[in-house]
């Protein structure tokens, strides 16, 4: 049941753009159905308790309500605040009754690395899904190929070089090519359960509204965009302070790349994939997670 719960959650995360539309309503029915299936399977597998299930369903309901029509501004703002607070509590593993499976327990990937643990965080993946569903209608449309090209080139290689170069320069890591046997679990967990949640929060919930707010208050479009990227990247670095100040600095520099990619493309998936590319290359080419 556990595996099927995560498969259903992964499919829900990959299908938010498949929507049923009428004249007044646009609902992501594919993602909604898969999300409910994932939650039911997680319940059967004892990954989710009663209180946690109720709070997860509340997040999903809020996300859907925020996408399905007009409401007074104060009411929508209150809904967004509640959704973000619930998503934060969920992503930080604060909900009672959640049991995230431990996949890798204190394994040293290279002799000089600190031990690494890998959890399959159903709660963080759910938080990312709910934020993604609420944010998806605000995605910029148009020529997607052109948006992807602007978002990925040359920002993806520049972000990789800047983040990895700084980590090497600060002595956090060293070259250590490897491919551990649990690589597929790492890819699935990092992409779907970590990168989506973090980019939905930092880019969709924080960076875009902050840029718009600064523009409305007289900043030029370019100044507002860069100030929003800088402020949000500082917060992103602080969110990684548990790894130390040097690690937080590397995270902040990488976040500038993710934010710039999002600004140029207007698409959350570009920021998500840029973030994932940095994490994957770190995992495969450098000390992971860092030197002892």
Q: How many domains does the chain have?
A: 2
Assigned domain for 291 exists: no
Q: Are residues 131 and 195 in the same domain?
A: no
Length of the chain: 292
Q: Which domain holds residue 16?
A: 2-105+118-136
For residues 42 and 165, membership in a common domain is answered with: no
Check whether 24 has a pLDDT greater than 60.
Answer: no
Residue 70 lies in a domain: yes
Query: What is the average pLDDT score of the chain?
Result: 94
- For helices 29-44 and 122-135, the axis angle rounded to 10 degrees is 160
Same domain (yes/no): 74, 20: yes
Query: Is residue 292 in a domain?
Result: no
> Are residue 126 and residue 165 in the same domain, yes or no?
no
Residue 137 has φ and ψ, to the nearest 5°, of: -65, -20
85 & 199 share domain? no
pLDDT at 26 over 80: no
Bigger pLDDT: 179 vs 19: 179
Q: The whole model's pTM is what?
A: 0.95
Q: Report the pLDDT averaged over residues 241-257.
A: 97
266 inside domain: yes
Mean pLDDT of the 198-213 span: 97
- Indicate whether 16 and 144 sit together in one domain: no
Model confidence at 30, in pLDDT bands (50, 70, 90)? confident
Q: Is the peptide bond between 188 and the residue preceding it cis, with omega within 30 degrees of 0?
A: no
Question: How high is the pLDDT of residue 21?
Answer: 61
Domain-located, residue 40: yes
In a domain, 254, yes or no: yes
Q: Tell whether 93 and 192 lie within a shared domain.
A: no
275 has pLDDT over 80: yes
Tokens standing for 243?
Answer: 């790894």
Average pLDDT of the segment spanning 169-195:
97
Query: Does 179 score more than 70 pLDDT?
Result: yes
Are 218 and 139 in contact by the 8 Å Cβ rule? The answer is no
* 195 domain residue, yes or no: yes
Is residue 219 in a domain? yes
What pLDDT is stored for residue 234 in this prediction?
98
pLDDT tens-digit series, residues 45-96: 999 999 999 999 999 999 999 988 778 888 999 999 999 999 999 999 999 9
Both 177 and 275 in one domain: the answer is yes
pLDDT of residue 137: 85
Do 278 and 160 share a structural domain?
A: yes
Residue 134 has pLDDT above 60, yes or no: yes
pLDDT at 71 (0 to 100): 81
Question: What is the C-alpha separation between 82 and 11, in angstroms, rounded?
Answer: 25
Q: State how far the Cα of 74 lies from the Cα of 200, in Å rounded to an integer.
A: 22
- From residue 42, alpha-carbon distances to 39, 109, 120, 202, 275 in Å are 5, 30, 12, 27, 27
Flag whether pLDDT at 226 surpasses 60: yes
35 and 160 part of one domain: no
Same domain, 152 and 246: yes
205 and 88 share a domain?
no
pLDDT(22) > 60:
no
Residue 25 clears pLDDT 90, i.e. is over it:
no
């Amino acid at each position: 049941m556990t595996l099927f719960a995560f498969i259903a959650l992964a499919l829900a995360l990959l299908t938010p753009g498949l929507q049923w539309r009428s004249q007044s309503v646009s609902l992501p029915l594919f993602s909604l159905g898969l999300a409910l299936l994932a939650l039911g399977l997680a319940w059967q597998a004892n990954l989710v308790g009663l209180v946690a299930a109720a709070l997860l369903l509340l997040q999903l309901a809020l996300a859907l309500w925020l996408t399905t029509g007009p409401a007074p501004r104060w009411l929508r703002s209150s809904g967004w605040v509640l959704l973000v607070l619930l998503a934060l509590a969920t992503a930080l593993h604060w909900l009672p009754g959640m049991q995230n499976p431990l996949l890798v327990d204190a394994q040293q990937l290279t002799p000089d690395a600190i031990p690494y643990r890998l959890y399959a965080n159903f709660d963080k993946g759910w938080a990312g899904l709910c934020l993604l569903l609420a944010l998806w209608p605000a995605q910029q449309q148009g020529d997607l190929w052109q948006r992807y090209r602007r978002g990925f080139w040359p920002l993806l290689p520049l972000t990789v070089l800047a983040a990895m170069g700084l980590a090497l320069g600060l002595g956090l890591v060293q070259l250590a090519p490897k491919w551990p046997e649990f690589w597929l679990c790492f890819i699935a967990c990092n992409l779907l359960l970590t990168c989506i949640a973090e980019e939905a929060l930092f880019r969709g919930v924080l960076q875009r509204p902050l840029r718009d707010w600064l523009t409305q208050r007289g900043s030029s479009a370019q100044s507002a965009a860069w100030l929003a990227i800088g402020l949000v990247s500082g917060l992103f670095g602080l969110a990684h302070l548990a790894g130390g100040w040097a690690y937080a600095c590397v995270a902040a520099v990488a976040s500038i790349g993710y934010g710039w990619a999002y600004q140029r493309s207007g698409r959350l998936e570009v920021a998500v994939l840029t973030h994932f590319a940095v994490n994957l290359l770190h995992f495969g080419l450098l000390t992971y997670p860092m030197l002892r």
